[in-house]
Structure 1
């Protein structure tokens, strides 16, 4: 696909277990962009809460989202793996980077739960899946976005993401 100098920042978003980090890194490589895993920007206190199975509050998330927004506006435009589950979170990110594009990785609960069961994560407890699904607010027409189904092999999902980015930026 090659480098796109005018490509806006991308957020690969969704609940835990959808493949944000793996796919985000692959998208960044395909587009010759830097990759940011928003999980790395969480405070130690946030990581401890999630590890214990306690959902984060909006107050817990605001400093983290501010850090994600700061990354979104750094050049060159990055590919960021970030849950961005609520509209208010995405609005905060779009306030900093108005041209931000969201790629929502979505799929059936059973598929996502199977992904979570097949991996270990530094701090994200699989017990938080239902809370994340309950928190997830759908994207709307004001948010530049595409929804990509994760119930396929990784290479197919990557291809669908890259096609969506091409469509959204052409």
Structure 2
């Protein structure tokens, strides 16, 4: 979990590869209307996000029923979003990839081919609710290489 530019996709792909687990990119679950809204520079509302989050939860349920472990990227900025995801039959744990706003903005500005413009970073940072002490997960700093972040995530989760 984390805001745009935190390295969710890169770190999650490495983690899934290291563990031999299935990988999914939450952005692929967004309906076209959500993508169009973000591409035009408008932040999503909670109402925009609920169907997307439910589809992720349902995907996790399917993996659990198949006996598969998975790593899924998802911003999961608010506790209420994480609560919905934790409603899955799978054990859902979070790794919050965290870093300074300047680094996040630099990363967003340097990437190509993504629908999330850097202008929406501020709204994501405002919406972000850090993991609570009672939430199953860990915080990993993004001030290391992606591989080091993936290793730190696995270690923090005892994987």
- Mark the runs of 5 or more structure 2 residues left unpaired by the alignment: none
Match of 2:127 in 1: 135
**Which of 143, 148, 158 is matched with 1:156 structurally?**
148
Deviation at 1:139, TM superposition (A): 1.0
Could you list the per-position Cα deviations for residues 76-121 of structure 1 after superposition, in whole angstroms to 9, with x for gaps in the alignment?
1210000000010000001124631100000110111111111124
Mapped partners of 2:91, 2:154: distance in 1: 17
- Mark the runs of 5 or more structure 1 residues left unpaired by the alignment: 1-12
TM-score computed with the length of structure 1 as normaliser: 0.87
Match of 1:24 in 2: 12
Match of 1:8 in 2: none
Please tell me the root mean square deviation across aligned C-alpha atoms, in Å.
1.2
Mapped partners of 2:23, 2:92: distance in 1: 15
Name the SS of the counterpart of 1:151 in structure 2: coil
TM-score computed with the length of structure 2 as normaliser: 0.93
Name the SS of the counterpart of 2:157 in structure 1: helix
Could you list the per-position Cα deviations for residues 45-88 of structure 1 after superposition, in whole angstroms to 9, with x for gaps in the alignment?
00000011100000000100001101222231210000000010
**Which of 65, 81, 90 is matched with 1:89 structurally?**
81
Q: After superposing the two structures, state which structure 1 stretch, 74-83 or 102-111, moved more.
A: 74-83
Match of 2:30 in 1: 42
**How many correspondences in the alignment?**
155
Match of 1:125 in 2: 117
Deviation at 1:152, TM superposition (A): 1.6
Name the SS of the counterpart of 1:39 in structure 2: helix
CA contact (8 A) 2:6 2:98 kept: yes
CA contact (8 A) 1:14 1:106 kept: yes
